[in-house]
Amino acid sequence: KPRRSLDGMTTGRVPKRPVAPARPPKTQNTPPTPVEDEDNVDFTYVPVAAQPVEDEDNIAFEYVKSETSNNSSPQKVAKPMNTTKSTKTTKPEKPAKTEAKPVAKSEVVASEPTAKPVQEDKSGMSLQPKKRAWGFKKVILVVVGLALAAGLMALAVVYNWYTQQLTPVSADTSKHVRVDIKQGTAPTAIASTLQEKGVIRNQTAFMWYTKLSGTQNKLKAGVYNLQPSLSTQSIVDKLVEGKQDTFKVTFLPGDTLASARKTLIGLGIYSEAEVDAALAKNYDYDLFATKPAGTDLEGYFYGETMEFTASDSVEQVLMGFFGLFDKFVKDNDLVAKFKQQGLTLYQGITLASIVQREVNVPDDQKAVARVFLNRLAKNMTLGSDVTYQYAADKLGVPRTPDLDSPYNTRKFAGLPPGPIATPGNGALLAVANPASNDYLFFLSGDDDKTYFGKTDAEHEKNIVNHCKEKCQIM
């Protein structure tokens, strides 16, 4: 049961259930003034509110240490505390309006003293809800911070992936890919085609780049010769510019059909199937007038360098070279001149291909052409080593002089079935206008010079004197 003081105020334990503090007075109480003698300081009861309250039992007191004295025993003043309603059912007495009378120190039950006088709580709110509110805010801040961090990490991952997808697919600068973009093709279809062709890494990244760069609706139709070694930015620049790419093709005198095929595929623009289909077609040129049916295009890859646009097909590339060859034949009246040597155009090209593989010096080519024509006139074998070498390479077998092949002119008389290489202009003109001599033999010496002979004896002498290591003899 709570104890009562002389003025009717309750002292002792504070009820557990807190109550809201009373309305603060209009004027604040004057704080106690320091005194000279701390031992003479008495404790005074200070009510929670200066105004009367309905339940005086709910008023509690707290005694605190005053900092106004410098002595060892500080001055103490009373402080109101929040209390809960008493459990008594009887109506409490009405508290006096004046300050409580001082009592002896021994009669006062005080709480633990504090360092400073406690100020009156004017907020009317408890501190515990504020702590809970601040804790909730901290949770929100932590959650928001984690979300921002996760978002930044995700953004970094996406950015790294995006920049990686814009890099070149390959470092090989020799490869080219022919890409045909039709008029009205949607940007998404263009991106898909580029990825299928192996020109870009990812079509989604391509679309993002064109969207961000403002070029998505500026891509132009056309046939492009693109390289996988180009970045996405470079490829987009080409498509926006719309300029048709060009490329060059070079065939050399002495090239074979196999080497020409390799050259076309090596452009990286055409597939093997496209090249093979083009090589198997028939072409309408006077150049092929005497070409036997069923024979391939060996010998017709005119030795020259030509430039084409990316929109040109394999057939158009081949026709470009066929056109040059046909023009050279007509400009130099080769059909009539070959006829004077007893040869058709196809036979003249065939003999010129053998001359091309045997020697490269124009004057020597004319003399060698006459040797072959002399031997043909006498129904002798041509005895050319380059013919059986061609046959062996084509069949994929070792090169031997006794190879059983109609191309082996060491074994069979007359011309081979067709050209063994592409003749150059010099070889063609050499057959059309051969030198005048009666030689039947020739050899290429160790000093890379050509030596001729009329008889076997002269030829054997040339072998002994000039062909001890690398020369090929007839």
d(CA 169, CA 173): 11
| From 11-15, 201-205, 465-469, the region with the lowest mean pLDDT | 11-15
d(CA 165, CA 154): 17
* CATH number of the domain bearing residue 207: 3.30.1490.480
Percentage with pLDDT > 70 across the chain: 71
> 60 has which bridge partners?
81
Same domain, yes or no: 461 and 349 = yes
Backbone angles phi, psi at 75, to 5 degrees: -70, 140
Characterise 396 by phi-psi region: left (phi > 0), alpha (psi -120 to 50), beta (else): left
Tell whether 448 is covered by a domain: yes
Q: Enter the tokens of residue 199.
A: 């020109």
- Between 179 and 418, name the one with better pLDDT: 418
Check pLDDT > 60 for residue 63. Answer: no
pLDDT of amino acid 5: 47
pLDDT of amino acid 467: 87
Q: Could you say which of 91, 125, 159 is where a domain stops? A: 125
CA triple 178-236-173, angle to 5 deg: 50
Q: Enter the tokens of residue 58.
A: 């709910």
CB 58 within 8 A of CB 85: yes
> 443 has which bridge partners?
451
Summarised one tens digit per residue, pLDDT across range 179-191 is: 889 999 999 999 9
Tell whether 142 is covered by a domain: no
Same domain, yes or no: 6 and 94 = yes
Burial 353-380 (b: 16+ CB within 10 A, else e): bbbbbbbeeeebbbbbbbbbbbbbeeee
- Between 244 and 31, name the one with better pLDDT: 244
CB 413 within 8 A of CB 384: no
Considering its fold, how many domains does the chain have in total? 3
Q: Which domain holds residue 227?
A: 177-241
Report the 10 Å Cβ neighbour count for 35.
Answer: 14
- Between 289 and 29, name the one with better pLDDT: 289
Tell whether 77 is covered by a domain: yes
Summarised one tens digit per residue, pLDDT across range 358-376 is: 999 999 999 999 999 999 9
Q: Could you say which of 82, 110, 125 is where a domain stops? A: 125
Same domain, yes or no: 104 and 184 = no
Same domain, yes or no: 121 and 196 = no
Q: Could you say which of 108, 125, 142 is where a domain stops? A: 125
Same domain, yes or no: 340 and 220 = no
d(CA 287, CA 326): 5
Check pLDDT > 50 for residue 349. Answer: yes
Tell whether 106 is covered by a domain: yes
Average pLDDT in the 277-285 region? Answer: 97
Tell whether 453 is covered by a domain: yes
Same domain, yes or no: 197 and 99 = no
pLDDT of amino acid 106: 43
In single-letter form, the type of residue at position 133 comes to: A
Same domain, yes or no: 381 and 449 = yes
pLDDT of amino acid 223: 87
310 DSSP 8-state letter: T
- Between 141 and 54, name the one with better pLDDT: 141
Q: Enter the tokens of residue 26.
A: 């209009």
What is the overall mean pLDDT for the chain?
81
CB 249 within 8 A of CB 267: yes
Same domain, yes or no: 121 and 181 = no
pLDDT of amino acid 79: 47
Characterise 204 by phi-psi region: left (phi > 0), alpha (psi -120 to 50), beta (else): alpha
- Between 107 and 353, name the one with better pLDDT: 353
d(CA 350, CA 332): 17
d(CA 332, CA 314): 28
- Between 58 and 380, name the one with better pLDDT: 380
Tell whether 223 is covered by a domain: yes
Q: Enter the tokens of residue 453.
A: 């002979």
Same domain, yes or no: 39 and 121 = yes
Crossing angle for the helix pair 203-213 and 127-165, to the nearest 10 degrees: 100
SS3 assignment, position 473:
coil
Check pLDDT > 50 for residue 147. Answer: yes
3-class secondary structure per residue, 379-446:
CCCCCCHHHHHHHHHHHCCCCCCCCCCCCCCCCCCCCCCCCCCCCCHHHHHHHHCCCCCCCCEEEECC
Q: Enter the tokens of residue 441.
A: 């033999």
Tell whether 410 is covered by a domain: yes
Check pLDDT > 70 for residue 392. Answer: yes
Same domain, yes or no: 213 and 117 = no
Same domain, yes or no: 356 and 455 = yes
Tell whether 159 is covered by a domain: no
Summarised one tens digit per residue, pLDDT across range 15-37 is: 555 555 556 555 555 555 555 55
Same domain, yes or no: 458 and 352 = yes
